[in-house]
A and B are shown apart, each in its own frame.
Chain A
Amino acid sequence: MYEIDMLLQGFANLANEPLPLLLALIGVTLGIIIGVLPGLTATMGVAILLPFTFGMDPVSAILMLCGVFFGGIFGGSITAILLKIPGTPAAAATAMDGYALSQKGQAGLALGTATLSSCFGGFLSVFMLIFLAPLLAGIALEFSAAESFALAVFGLSIITSVSGDSLVKGLIAGFLGLLLSTVGLDPMAGFPRFTGGFNELLNVPFIPVMIGLFAASEAFKSLGQPETRAEVKVYIGRIIPPWSVFKGLIFTILRSSGLGIIVGIIPGAGADIASFVAYNEAKRFSKNPENFGKGELKGVAAAESGANACTGGDLLPMMTLGIPGDAVTAVMLGALTMQGLQPGPLLFKDHAGLVFTLFAGMLFCYAALLIIGLSSLRLMGKVLEMPRAILTPLILALCVVGAYAINNSMFDVGIMLAVGVVGFFMQRWDYPASPVVLALIMGPMAEASFRRALSLSGGSLDFLYTRPITLGLLTVAVITLALPLLRYFRGNGGNGPTADGATAGTVGSAK
């Protein structure tokens, strides 16, 4: 097989010249740190590091950036699980079940599962990149505005599965997010909407809102609690899940990775969308969907493998067609160009050796991620042992720095704090935060794609049912929306599992 030969040769190249491996290692470590810090996303990490790679050889430069990319997507899950602070938007889906597990004293298991799933997702996506790239590249070009719209609607329908106990409150939170997402420049006509004259509001301040909603609100909540709560005795516990548990996750990881890869290939859709889609499907296929949101390991596994499988998917159209799948790969496209490599079909023809060395290096990056991830988890878990009197101000300081760092703007810090207060009350009254984030990701995409599709079709709505992918995705969206209603009517007899009723009760009374 040509690919296997080339890949082995790539490994040999790396073994002869180990400098790129060292840089990849540094990249992964930096990426994890960047991912852990709220506000610093994988995109920013790659962009900040980009100028430092100009002096390097192409393999070193690209592998270091890949390391930051992979590490950044994974790193966000650590704080999401331990503190309910998603370091990156992709980890918002992980936070739901990860934090619940943490509260049950199973933080170690959640972190270990997250690391393993991330790496499996990543490995699968890189292998797919190696063997199926030319086959799958076409998907990216099939996706037009109509398909993007359908994907966004499907994404919005996921609100029903991340709403927690009350669907109505979830929908209210979702519509709040949709309302917020209308702030800024009108995507088609280009005039400002609801900005109140502030230029800073011409783009929806998504990251500050997310930090405020998750992290700042959590910090405010803990400010209001006396230091007397009986802490969970086991902070970390077992890290690597026992085989019996892991066995049950394999199918979820495989499915989520597949979904992550496909979402990655689609232009304009990144890891944040992939993790929510994977989470939703894991819940749909689960025998006990009511456990999701209350500490279901499958939820963590799905979100994380989906997010990291997205990395290979994102790189695929970038390398084969020269079109970036999302913001991170747009920056990486610049990195390749600066190295004198023109991404596209010619890249594989003219620089096959180099491309396969890169692939070998990417596999190495994920192996490094697995080792660094697993070995650092105990250290990271020490955070839980920190007294709250120290941890809470530290979190707030990180929130401020993170919100400031995105645009070097105090305006964003103000938004973060204001949203933090809103988030505090949402939490107090049991409104889930995830639907807001989901709506902020999907809302602008749905709006812009719908209006773009309309202008592409000259104002005709035919695209809603004449295009097979669009029709398929919209059908799935309708089913996702209708399912909870069906369940409600069918389950009116009140045959919900009693065990779950009990856990829900305790969670409720803990407030």
Chain B
Amino acid sequence: MKGYRFVTGAVVGALTSATMMVAAQAAGYPTKPIELTVPYAAGGGTDLVARAYADAAKKHLPQSMGVVNKTGGAGAVGLTEIMAARADGYRIGMGTVELTMLPHMGIARFTADDFTPIARLNAEPSAITVNVDSPFKTFEDFLANAKANPGKVRIGNSGTGAIWHLAAAALQEKTGASFSHIPYDGANPAVTALLGNHIEAVSVSPAEVVNHVAAGKLRILAVMGDERSAAFPEVPTVKEKGIDLSVYTWRGIVVPKKTPQAVVDTLREASKATANEPAFKETLTKMNLTLAYADGPEFGEMIKKDNAFFKDLMTKLGMAK
């Protein structure tokens, strides 16, 4: 009995490895370790997603994956490096929403078209959050006040030209309300300022305020997502309020444009399996991040849409070059 089971196991094992071999041989890839370039510093959210991905991908690729951080220039340095890497699939990158924003600001040598999308792994919407002592109880209160007192409602963001600034600017654009945008050096300091009642609201993602909401210090009024957030099902979306707007930050695997199709396919397969890996899901959950897997083509559509959206928005804001 035991032997029988062993034989079955061996046969199944051989078959699986045979199919994997075929796939691998078809591309001749990967025959050496893959380097995953992260355009942000070690220890940050993007870095942790990348490390969890690299770790979970081991099971689905015959070679290991190492994470390399290339920081600087709000992500421009690392993203440029990914774009300029040899298109053989041995240097892949963690692309973020910034790759659809930086090119329009004239501080990047790449455009969104220079990358082939492999898989989106995570996405977080923008949200309007206020202090629990704030007079704004609902999103309507908030908006009405911003319209009645132009420039008096101060919204903290994670830096001028960064995703949460653009989210607030887009909301202003869509509703005709007028905010005063206060840039901080990242989302955390903006949230700190909100906790100290130095500003009226922040436009960062729910994941970045979840602790304070749980502690009863902050209140989320609305999320700028396509649907309600799983963590806060009682918070409405701005779409429900009749504002056609959704702004997400996202993270996903990208490779240089000229990467051969066989390599792209191998990576897409592996990424799909990795995104379903329990360990990967668990890491994201622990970090309060939302798993938002999307395969290459779908991810590519979203990049194209965001690229057009930010180009238009940044031109209107006078930030585009």
Contact status of A331 and B198, CB under 8 A, knowing A200-B73, A452-B182: no
Contacting pair B287 A200 (CB below 8 A): no
Contact status of A409 and B182, CB under 8 A, knowing A199-B76, A267-B192, A344-B215: no
A191 CA / B161 CA spacing, docked (Å) = 9
| Contacts A202-B76, A407-B71 supplied; 19 other A-B pairs, CB < 8 Å | A43-B43, A44-B42, A48-B42, A54-B283, A185-B74, A188-B160, A199-B109, A200-B72, A200-B77, A202-B73, A268-B189, A323-B192, A324-B188, A334-B48, A342-B211, A342-B214, A343-B211, A409-B70, A448-B185
User: Which residues of B, 46-80, contact A by the 8 Å Cβ criterion?
Assistant: 47-48, 51, 68-74, 76-77, 80
Is A455 an interface residue, CB under 8 A from the partner?
yes
A342 CA / B73 CA spacing, docked (Å) = 30
Name the CB-closest residue of A to B183: A188
Q: Nearest Cβ in chain A — how far from B54, in angstroms?
A: 10
Is B30 an interface residue, CB under 8 A from the partner?
no
User: Which residues of A, 8-64, contact B by the 8 Å Cβ criterion?
Assistant: 43-44, 46-48, 50-51, 54
Could you say which residues of chain B place their CB within 8 Å of the CB of A334? 43-45, 48, 287
User: Which residues of A, 289-338, contact B by the 8 Å Cβ criterion?
Assistant: 317, 321-324, 330-331, 333-334, 337-338
Q: Which of A101-109, A139-147, A234-242, A489-497 is the interface stretch?
A: A139-147
Is A387 an interface residue, CB under 8 A from the partner?
no
Contacting pair B214 A346 (CB below 8 A): yes
Which range contains the number of B residues in contact with the other chain? Answer: 35 or more
Is B195 an interface residue, CB under 8 A from the partner?
yes
Contact status of A46 and B43, CB under 8 A, knowing A199-B76, A268-B185: yes
Contacting pair B188 A190 (CB below 8 A): no
Is B10 an interface residue, CB under 8 A from the partner?
no
A–B Cβ pairs within 8 angstroms, 25 of them: A46-B43, A47-B43, A50-B48, A140-B192, A140-B196, A141-B192, A141-B196, A186-B160, A199-B72, A199-B80, A202-B77, A322-B215, A323-B192, A333-B188, A334-B287, A338-B283, A342-B211, A344-B212, A344-B215, A407-B72, A408-B68, A409-B77, A448-B185, A456-B199, A458-B180
Is B286 an interface residue, CB under 8 A from the partner?
yes
What sequence of 0s and 1s flags, for each residue 134-175 of chain A, a beta carbon within 8 Å of any chain B beta carbon?
000000111111000000000000000000000000000000
A207 CA / B69 CA spacing, docked (Å) = 17
Name the CB-closest residue of B to A324: B188
Contacting pair B211 A344 (CB below 8 A): yes
Contact status of A408 and B70, CB under 8 A, knowing A202-B107, A323-B192: yes
Contacting pair B188 A323 (CB below 8 A): yes
What sequence of 0s and 1s flags, for each residue 331-370 of chain A, a beta carbon within 8 Å of any chain B beta carbon?
1011001111011111000000000000000000000000
Could you say which residues of chain A place their CB within 8 Å of the CB of B41? 47
List 5 A-B pairs, minimum CB-CB distance, nearest first: A47-B43, A202-B73, A190-B160, A141-B196, A331-B43
Is B154 an interface residue, CB under 8 A from the partner?
yes
A452 CA / B48 CA spacing, docked (Å) = 30
Q: Nearest Cβ in chain B — how far from A270, in angstroms?
A: 13
Contact status of A321 and B195, CB under 8 A, knowing A200-B72, A338-B48, A338-B283: yes
Is B191 an interface residue, CB under 8 A from the partner?
yes
Contacting pair B189 A267 (CB below 8 A): yes
Output the residue of B159, B184, B189 with the most chain A CB within 10 A: B189
Could you say which residues of chain A place their CB within 8 Å of the CB of B297? none
Q: Nearest Cβ in chain A — how far from B50, in angstroms?
A: 10
Could you say which residues of chain B place their CB within 8 Å of the CB of A142? 196
Contact status of A190 and B43, CB under 8 A, knowing A200-B72, A267-B189, A408-B70: no
Is A472 an interface residue, CB under 8 A from the partner?
no
Contacting pair A51 B51 (CB below 8 A): yes
Contacting pair B69 A408 (CB below 8 A): yes
A268 CA / B196 CA spacing, docked (Å) = 14
Is B193 an interface residue, CB under 8 A from the partner?
yes
Contacting pair B42 A50 (CB below 8 A): yes
Please tell me which one of the listed residues A143, A187, A190, A324 contacts residue B319 in the complex, with CB atoms under 8 A apart: A190
Could you say which residues of chain A place their CB within 8 Å of the CB of B181? 455
A46 CA / B209 CA spacing, docked (Å) = 23
Is B273 an interface residue, CB under 8 A from the partner?
no
Could you say which residues of chain B place their CB within 8 Å of the CB of A140? 192, 196
Contacting pair B182 A456 (CB below 8 A): yes
User: Which residues of B, 144-184, contact A by the 8 Å Cβ criterion?
Assistant: 151, 154, 159-162, 180-184
Contact status of A345 and B196, CB under 8 A, knowing A48-B42, A456-B154: no
Is A192 an interface residue, CB under 8 A from the partner?
yes
Contacting pair A187 B211 (CB below 8 A): no
Is B15 an interface residue, CB under 8 A from the partner?
no
A354 CA / B171 CA spacing, docked (Å) = 43
Q: Nearest Cβ in chain B — how far from A42, in angstroms?
A: 12
Is B18 an interface residue, CB under 8 A from the partner?
no
What sequence of 0s and 1s flags, for each residue 256-290 of chain B, a beta carbon within 8 Å of any chain A beta carbon?
00000000000000000000000000010011100
Q: Nearest Cβ in chain A — how far from B193, in angstroms?
A: 7
A338 CA / B77 CA spacing, docked (Å) = 28
Could you say which residues of chain A place their CB within 8 Å of the CB of B192? 140-141, 267, 317, 321, 323
A186 CA / B283 CA spacing, docked (Å) = 35
What sequence of 0s and 1s flags, for each residue 5-45 of chain B, a beta carbon within 8 Å of any chain A beta carbon?
00000000000000000000000000000000000011111
Output the residue of B70, B74, B319 with the most chain A CB within 10 A: B74
Name the CB-closest residue of B to A268: B189
Could you say which residues of chain A place their CB within 8 Å of the CB of B43? 43, 46-47, 50, 330-331, 334
Contacting pair A144 B42 (CB below 8 A): no
Contact status of A340 and B286, CB under 8 A, knowing A190-B319, A200-B77, A334-B43: yes
A343 CA / B212 CA spacing, docked (Å) = 9
What sequence of 0s and 1s flags, for each residue 107-127 of chain B, a beta carbon within 8 Å of any chain A beta carbon?
111000000000000000000
Q: Nearest Cβ in chain A — how far from B30, in angstroms?
A: 22
Could you say which residues of chain A place their CB within 8 Å of the CB of B108? 199
Contacting pair B48 A323 (CB below 8 A): no
A67 CA / B185 CA spacing, docked (Å) = 27
Contacting pair A455 B180 (CB below 8 A): yes
Contacting pair B198 A145 (CB below 8 A): yes
Q: Nearest Cβ in chain A — how far from B164, in angstroms?
A: 13
Contacting pair A337 B288 (CB below 8 A): yes
Name the CB-closest residue of B to A340: B286
Is A189 an interface residue, CB under 8 A from the partner?
yes
Please tell me which one of the listed residues A190, A331, A338, A346 contacts residue B161 in the complex, with CB atoms under 8 A apart: A190
User: Which residues of A, 189-234, contact B by the 8 Å Cβ criterion?
Assistant: 189-192, 199-200, 202-203
Q: Nearest Cβ in chain A — how far from B222, in angstroms?
A: 22
Contacting pair B212 A322 (CB below 8 A): yes
Could you say which residues of chain A place their CB within 8 Å of the CB of B283? 54, 338
